Amino acid sequence: MTTPTDLRVQGDQWIADRHVELEAEKIDAAKREQAAREKRINQEARERAARDDAAKRERQEAARKWRGKREAEAEFYRQIKAEADRKAKREELVRVAIGVGL
C-alpha cells in the first residue's frame, strides 16, 4: 500500500530527476551551440584565408604582367635607340666618305 507521504516523496524525486535531466540538456545544448559557433568561426577564418591567398596571387600576377610589359617597352626603346645610333653612324660614315672623296 502506498501512503500519501510515499507519493509525495516519489513525486519530489521525479521532479528532482527531471530537473537534473533538464539541466543536463541545457548543458548539452550550450556545448552544441559553442561547437557550432567555433565551427562557424573556423570556417569563416578558412574562407578569409582563401580570399586573402587568391587576392595575393592576383596581385602577384598583376605585378608580373606589369613588369613584363615594362621590360618589353624598355627593350623596344633600346632597339629604337640602337637603330637610331646605327643610322647616325652610317650617316657619319657617308659624310666622312664623301669628304674624303672630294
pLDDT tens per residue, range 32-81: 999 999 999 999 999 999 999 999 999 999 999 999 999 999 999 999 99
pLDDT of residue 25: 96
Question: Is-above-0.75 flag for pTM?
Answer: no
If you average pLDDT over residues 79-96, what whole number do you get?
93
- 10 pLDDT band, cuts 50/70/90, is confident
- Domain map (residue ranges) of the chain: 1-72
pLDDT of residue 100: 65
What does the DSSP assignment read for the chain? ---HHHHHHHHHHHHHHHHHHHHHHHHHHHHHHHHHHHHHHHHHHHHHHHHHHHHHHHHHHHHHHHHHHHHHHHHHHHHHHHHHHHHHHHHHHHHHHHHHH-
Residue 83 has pLDDT above 90, yes or no: yes
What cell does 16 get? 528532482
